[in-house]
Structure 1
């Protein structure tokens, strides 16, 4: 655990609510390099929040720059490895000072004069209010907290072929996912193939109904829990479907095949 990283989160982070608790959970596991692996299940347990809430908080932290993904690194169980960039090099106040020492914050002697404590060193502003570095910092943090943060991100290029194939198959999808959720979909595409995702969605799609992408992410998660013995790679078994579904599914799969063939 990095006490310095945790101290930075408590005193300098602009995060609020669940995002702050998520950041504290990561900092609690961070080492001296301010990196730590953290899976969604662990963050849900520590924050006592729902999966969608945790993912939204992670996306907000990634967009604010207070959290970053260490590309190419994974935890022992495949967890994402995060880094707290702004906490690197931060040292908590009073670190390294022995108990009972006279040196410390607020006890700096002025040259040729008496010691000046925290209250004595402040300059009163007109009207009696005190203005100091801490007040200015707090004002900046409040302004940053009042700025709205996006809860969704533009669709990453890797998922564009899947989105086109779903549309061709007649599956209505509202793509309102954060970066973390889009990475989950891309992992499913890499593991099971886009054809399997399109086939499963076309089979389960209510007639003419448009669903949010988070709904389909939960549906596609069934592929990870499916029995190991399946008819073949990237094949999703299902019962007979209406002819319209069959035609749409064929169109979607044909689009995927054409996009693969056009890829240099």
Structure 2
């Protein structure tokens, strides 16, 4: 349920600022215990009331950490990216009774045992023993932090979203040129990238990325390169073999000849008037 996922963000997440609000917005969309939800950039901008660039930077930061993954091979009904909160899997929020009964440092008690064995304040009234101890503390129960970490390690983490087939030649060419890219684009952004490929060609995009990448540089998100490549639309390049005719510089000798011809005409008119 989304309430359990949101409770995990409130109580367990280390995200801060806009990244924390973005994580809450995604958690609010989780429909079940799998802690997966689709979320588009536009929706996240509306829910967080943050700038689009801030939301995109927050998503990239979360994907670099362990609290958010992209589910490969899946998209939302409008092509939205599908995210997973791996560390929230198995987390359950405390009920009101559990919140009142647990101490300030104890974790939520999921299986308190029969009501007859517990005092109103939540302590045991029966004999202590392996069968009568209430599971409390950070290491108790299957939903403790250690178990959640183990579950998260078992989940295959998708560090990049799947490329549409039309972008695979671009991805291969970037890899071959030594430009490392983190492909975390949504389906709509991938289509925008493909339109740039159609307009300018794979070679132009790779050449621009290679010129802006220093040797050994860390991988940059594809969203960064999408902004860089979009600048190519400002001044359309002239491709070899096109019908464009380059402008020629003015010929100084030609101007001198025209001036001499004009002076000769003026002299002829003066003689005719005299």
Q: TM-score by structure 2 length? A: 0.48
Larger Rg: 2
